[in-house]
Amino acid sequence: CVPLKGAWLFTPLSNMATVKSELTEHFTSKERVHRSKVSIVGTGSVGMACPISILLKGLSDELAIVDPDEGKLKGETVDLQNGSPFMKMPSTVCSKDYLVTANSSLVIVTAGAHQEKGETRLNLKLSAFPKNRVIGSGCNLGTARFHFLIGQKLGIHSESCRGWILREHGDSSVPVWSGVNIAGVPLKDLDSDIGTDKDPEQWKNVHKEVIASAYEIIKMNTSCTIGLSVADLTESILKNLRRTHPVSTIIKGLYEIDEEVFLSIPCILGENGITNLIKIKLTPEEEAHLKECKNTLGNSEGAEALKLSKTTILKLLKRS
Amino acid sequence: MSTVKEQLIEKLIEDDKNSQCKITVVGTGAVGMACAISILLKDLADELALVDVASDKLKGEMMDLQHGSLFFSTSKITSGTDYSVSANSRIVIVTAGARQQEGETRLALVQRNVTIMKSIIPAIVHYSPDCKILVVSNPVDILTYVVWKISGLPITRVIGSGCNLDSARFRYLIGEKLGVHPTSCHGWIIGEHGDSSVPLWSGVNVAGVALKTLDPKLGTDSDKEHWKNIHKQVIQSAYEIIKLKGYTSWAIGLSVMDLVGSILKNLRRVHPVSTMVKGLYGIKEEIFLSIPCVLGRNGVSDVVKINLNSEEEALFKKSAETLWNIQKDLIF
């Protein structure tokens, strides 16, 4: 397949000098080696929220987009390409064939309900990947919302409010109240009932709002934040930043969990994907919540990731 | 009993609630939101306000952006169906407008948009009397005229996004043909944003080398390399993209971000945007068309005097006539 790249151009074949040959002197035809190519699978609203963030942050040296719907794919890609004078990235390519993703450092999978039969081939490959290279975007977005809402309550920018939400993106996420701190001051030291029903300030509602807002926003079919969250993770991976993020990985052997389940816990992300896990200290209640219903989790988070459900983003690293 | 906040934080001085660099986006459709996200990612504003008529969508979009605040540095994002939320904006970006219905004449479409602008513009000017208004809604040249007329603002402060995007598309396609990044390819398209835009072939250059010196027939029908097709593709781009994905958003969002950057930071870069061209190139009516303008803190502060050859000038004047034929019958 030929990647679509402004493919309507008709270049006349001629032996006579072209403007290009008159203008430029050729030095070398070395094959391009992509060092930070990112591929995105799926052009739904979640999929298309990612390119603009990645492009404006200049994170990769090529962006490839894959989707079976060729019309939409081409439309979105040309729209992005038309903006290239305003960005500092070389190219965006697309195809309905996965070949266009070759040599990617990072593949972001956002496919939704419109999967073709060919998708199962992708699913099966996932389980053959080493576990450090299969990452679920997990609670990165929920934690970002948590930061924002804590910040709103205290009148401080979200970046200065530290708090982690773990386990699973959605209703059964676990806010780690013992870790919530500003400038190193744990809020639990100031309000020992924080996060419980006895709490006079009802901080528990902050977590409830994180969950509720996800539903509210989905109803509106918007997805700007998810693109920002994905770009955030992409940056850590491609630049080998080794920052900590709450992403989903296979947990086995931690917190007395024996099965292979996908849970979000703080991970260090770098060019090899997840290189370390943070052994976060949980209170007995928090640990109980984390392990709770793990029977269903074995089917839910992990299997959902493998089935590529609508709200889960799973990133695979594939370096050849 | 003291709250967590009281125990944690000692207040020294009241929070200064006045933004220095506020931007309002009117219209939260695909174009408006693409403008919003591009502006946020470029850290251009310290406050962003969204205005629309559909209050649920508006709230959802606002919340979605707010929740991303960890990833950017715009601390205040607000929204409202009432224009009071836009107060004290430096720039107001207007993306609202009616879409052309099947069989509808351009005049009828524009007349509907006049009604919409009459409900938007006076409120904008009331709440931000010193703002610059950037008009994006189509047909942008006529609507920039409409907005200018209704607002009563000086021409320097009413700017149509015009051919900034056409020129970007032009540079992208030139770049593809030459294997050079678009930012190193220079080419200007002026006039009407749309079917009768005027490509300035004599100005197309890379590293100062005018392509016309390498190919004197550049842009003509007898050109062996058919460079003229590139301009045709620029015009067709929008239609193609709309046919494929239903609308265009990313490129126009980035184009707007580019213009906003020049204005807010007083960069005084030159952009082909839609401004009043009465008195130029023999045009006698109050027409807005794209010509290269210097954009800074005050909006359009200067225009670049380009020498058009007779063919280009004829095309330019023809655009002006087409636009005036519609404008003259508008009822305000």
Does A289 qualify as catalytic in the annotation? no
Chain segment B202-243, per-residue pLDDT in tens: 999 999 999 999 999 999 999 999 999 999 999 998 888 988
The reported pLDDT for the residue numbered B332 is 86
Catalytic residues of B: 193
Same domain membership, residue A193 and residue A179: yes
**Residue B26 lies inside a defined structural domain of this protein:** yes
Under the banding of pLDDT at 50, 70 and 90, the label for residue A16 is low
| Helix, strand, or coil (residue A241) | coil
Domain count, chain A: 2
Q: Taking a contact as any Cβ pair under 8 Å apart, which residues of chain B between 107 and 166 contact chain A? A: 165
- Our CA-based measurement puts residue B121 at a distance from the nearest CA of chain A, in whole angstroms, of 27
The reported pLDDT for the residue numbered A26 is 84
A89 close to A52: Cβ distance less than 8 angstroms = no
Nearest by CB to residue B4, choosing from A52, A85, A191, is A191
Same domain membership, residue B152 and residue B74: yes
Give me the catalytic one of A147, A169, A207, A289. A169
B160 is in an annotated binding site: no
Under the banding of pLDDT at 50, 70 and 90, the label for residue A54 is very high
Same domain membership, residue B296 and residue B202: yes
The reported pLDDT for the residue numbered B171 is 95
Same domain membership, residue B321 and residue B174: yes
Same domain membership, residue B214 and residue B75: no
Assign residue B50 the CATH number of its domain.
Answer: 3.40.50.720
B225 close to A19: Cβ distance less than 8 angstroms = yes
Chain segment B248-267, per-residue pLDDT in tens: 999 999 999 999 999 999 99
The dihedrals phi and psi of B275, each to the nearest 5 degrees, come to -140, 175
Same domain membership, residue A146 and residue A116: no
- Our CA-based measurement puts residue B291 at a distance from the nearest CA of chain A, in whole angstroms, of 19
| Helix, strand, or coil (residue A37) | strand
Domain that residue A72 falls in = 35-136
Give the position of tokens 């994907």: A273
Write down the pTM of the prediction.
Answer: 0.88
User: In A, which residues are within 8 Å of B7 by CB distance?
Assistant: 190-191
Give the position of tokens 């508006």: B58
**Residue A317 lies inside a defined structural domain of this protein:** no
Under the banding of pLDDT at 50, 70 and 90, the label for residue A243 is very high
**Residue A287 lies inside a defined structural domain of this protein:** yes
- Whether the per-residue pLDDT at B74 is higher than 90: the answer is yes
Say what the ipTM of the complex is.
0.89
Same domain membership, residue A146 and residue A131: no
A243 touching chain B per CB within 8 A: no
Gap between the Cα atoms of A246 and A264, Å rounded: 5
Nearest by CB to residue B172, choosing from A24, A81, A224, is A81
What is the identity of the amino acid at B19?
S
Chain segment B232-245, per-residue pLDDT in tens: 999 998 888 988 99
Q: Taking a contact as any Cβ pair under 8 Å apart, which residues of chain A between 150 and 179 contact chain B? A: 151, 153-159
Its sign, for the CA torsion A267, A247, A68, B31, is negative
B32 is in an annotated binding site: yes
Same domain membership, residue B139 and residue B91: yes
Same domain membership, residue B106 and residue B211: no
The most confident of A96-100, A136-140, B148-152, by mean pLDDT: B148-152
Assign residue A49 the CATH number of its domain.
Answer: 3.40.50.720
Q: Taking a contact as any Cβ pair under 8 Å apart, which residues of chain A between 19 and 78 contact chain B? A: 19-20, 22-24, 51-53, 56-57, 71-72, 74-76, 78
- The end-to-end CA distance of chain B, in Å, is 61
Same domain membership, residue A98 and residue A153: no
Domain that residue B292 falls in = 163-328
- Whether the per-residue pLDDT at A68 is higher than 80: the answer is yes
CA angle, A175 then A226 then A139, to 5°: 25
Of all residues in chain A, what percent are helix, strand and coil, respectively (each to 5)? 40, 20, 40
A9 touching chain B per CB within 8 A: yes
Please count the CA atoms within 13 angstroms of the CA of A182 that sit on its side-chain side. Answer: 20
| B214 to A22: CB separation less than 8 angstroms, yes or no | yes
| B70 to A148: CB separation less than 8 angstroms, yes or no | yes
The reported pLDDT for the residue numbered A256 is 77
- Lowest mean per-residue pLDDT among A164-173, A179-188, B159-168: A164-173
Chain segment A120-149, per-residue pLDDT in tens: 334 445 556 777 888 888 888 889 999 999
| B245 to A75: CB separation less than 8 angstroms, yes or no | yes
Determine the residue among B4, B169, B201, B243 to mutate to test chain A binding: the one whose Cβ has the most chain A Cβ atoms within 10 Å. Answer: B4
